Amino acid sequence: FLNMDDMCYGFVQGNGEQFHIEKLEGIDKWQDEAGDVTVIWCASVSENKTVVVGWYEHANAYRYLQTLFATPFTGIQRGFLFSTNAENAYLLPESERTFEIGRASKTGAGTGFGQHNYWFAESPYAQENVIPAVMKFIEEHRDVRINTLPCELNEPANIEPLSEAELNHM
């Protein structure tokens, strides 16, 4: 949820070399990118509880890991599978992280996360119950985000830019 030049970039550990975006409605196996996707970000808050912590609207989802230099001053690279304009990224304060997403091992197949830390919510149960409830939750919490959209970013004063030689060795 970090605003980097008016963009936010997200990552989730996939299963193998590609993220299977063809599981999204209307996306084929030959497509490398899906646009106008809503990405729901969740986190475990205890061994048995996973909650919505935020979301991206109008995001792009990528089949293959994308890379960018997160900070040209340090040369740190960042890998991502999702991107959106910063104005479309919503991070909830901890007190508002109340919507639970189940774990299929406890609530049944198709009702929540399986073994992976991502879920396409493609089951009939998810389509009829989970997705409408999450979308209602989003609408009710749109105004409580804690990530901010600064008008300008200041360069850090204590970091030296990388030299040409350092950049060439990356």
Mean pLDDT of the chain: 85
Mean pLDDT of 125-147: 93
* Percent of the chain's residues with pLDDT above 90: 51
Residue 116 pLDDT level (bands cut at 50, 70, 90): confident
- pLDDT of residue 167 exceeding 70, the answer is no
Non-local CB neighbours of 153 within 8 Å, separated by 6+ positions: 3, 5
Contacts from 102-106 at CB under 8 Å and sequence distance 24+?
Answer: 102/50, 103/48, 103/50, 106/48
pLDDT, tens digit, for every residue of 144-153? Answer: 999 866 555 5
pLDDT of residue 91: 96
Based on its alpha-carbon atoms, the radius of gyration of the chain, rounded to whole angstroms, reads: 18
Average of per-residue pLDDT across 21-36: 92
- pLDDT one-digit tens code per residue, 32-67: 999 999 999 999 888 778 999 999 999 999 999 998
The pTM of the full predicted model, rounded to 2 decimals, is 0.80
Phi-psi region of 158 (alpha: psi -120 to 50; beta: other; left: phi over 0): alpha
Question: Mean pLDDT over residues 109-121, rounded?
Answer: 85
